[in-house]
Amino acid sequence: MFGKEKPGSFVIGYTLEQEYPVRLDLQKFVKRSSGIFGATGTGKSFLTRMVLAGLMREDVASALVFDMHNEYAFDDLDSDNEKTVRGLRSLFGSKVQVAALGKGSMVRGNSPDFTLELALSDFQTGDIELLSEALNLTDTSGVTLNALSRDFGQNWFAEFMKLEPGAVDVDPESGKTFPAENSVAAWARQNNVHEKAAEALHRKLQRIYDRPYVVEKPAADAVSAIVDKLETGRHVILSFGEFDNDLDYLLVSNILTRRIRQHWVKLTERHKTHGEAAPRPLLIAIEEAHKLLNPHLSNQTAFGTIARELRKYFVTLLVVDQRPSGIDDEVMSQLGTRITGWLGDEDDIRAVLTGLSGRDQLRGMLARLQEKEEVLLLGWGVKMPIPVKSRRYDEQFYADMKATRAGPSGLDNLDDDGWNDEIFG
């Protein structure tokens, strides 16, 4: 736990008083889902970059990062000190592949390695139900979606959007209008669905249908493009570009994660049944995790399934959030390692300590953290709870990440026994 870095480990910070280096066991870290927490302004993004950089350098797993705010791939400017912050692509080159949503999309003025499009056939009705709040769906929407699935099967989305809302024909004898054969209302009547409810759903789904990254037949399969890279030891950062809102984030991340998890399940079954090689461990990093793992949605999303599986299929999560109280308690209890900065809300403190023993003592440790640069390490990836001053994400860190298995500057003066003797006597 203390001392210079070894293969499969990463110095995340230093003890507060003696400044001894503290190692995170990355090989254990990726075996269970984990979390990085802290109030706004405590440096979660820098900490997440550092942990991902350590994971990438040590090559203990492939990482898929859903980068909602375009912070992780390319260089950025730190607004606090006007200095350039290196992106993970800058640190690791082509080992990190950057994807963007939609043909021709850019990420902070940079060209991505590839772009992603979703096929209409990728959408399940359950994906739409996850968006109830974002789309302002009513209770009757579920009934309509079930009817669409029964009637059209996998092509429900494409077929439904071909229908014309408000289309009518005129009876030549009476002069009265009635729903045209290709209208939403006619389909609703044929399937015993409320006409107004069907038309309202069609209108709301138009927002998704009109997204430039949603097409009938993509030029390439999005999931295959990502899987190929992850399986060969590279990492993928999906930058959402201009689509940095809840609707796009919930929709895209859940569809891609569901399909990628299904692929890993098949690989695992072949490993267990036919003795094929085990799949490469995969860590999926998600920001603002409460939007995907809150009590209302966690049982419905692919992320909730992964969190509860405890690496059964070699896939784990890294959840990043400023409000852990918004995450389902069952999911929180499954997180093996928790790295938490200062939290000002009592509910958030309670949430981040869910399922841990000695909570009163840990609460005291959390309360004493400085608002920046200090974090509390808990759980699976460290041998004991310990507050540390986090490593700085600076030029020295960049050099350390590019070095070939050399420990960080100043960490090589003692061997492991020396560090432990210094600390424990």
Handedness of CA 47, 48, 53, 56 (dihedral sign): positive
| Residue type present at position 242 | E
Q: How far is the C-alpha of 198 from the C-alpha of 235, rounded, in Å?
A: 41
The model's pLDDT over 291-313, given as tens digits with 9 standing for 90+, comes to 999 999 988 899 999 999 878 99
CA distances from 29 to 54, 60, 309, 381 (A): 11, 9, 15, 5
Q: How far is the C-alpha of 256 from the C-alpha of 243, rounded, in Å?
A: 16
Q: How far is the C-alpha of 423 from the C-alpha of 263, rounded, in Å?
A: 46
Residues contacting 188, CB < 8 A, separation 6+: 144, 194, 195, 197, 198, 199
Q: How far is the C-alpha of 163 from the C-alpha of 111, rounded, in Å?
A: 37
Q: Which stretch of 288-292, 366-370, 419-423 has the lowest confidence by average pLDDT?
A: 419-423
CATH code of the region 9-117+220-424: 3.40.50.300
Confidence category of residue 404, pLDDT binned at 50, 70, 90: low
| Predicted local distance difference test score (pLDDT) of residue 165 | 93
The model's pLDDT over 349-371, given as tens digits with 9 standing for 90+, comes to 999 998 888 888 999 999 999 99
| Sequence spans of domains, the chain | 9-117+220-424, 122-209
The token duo for 277 is 């090689």
Residue 388: closest CA among 24, 49, 6: 24
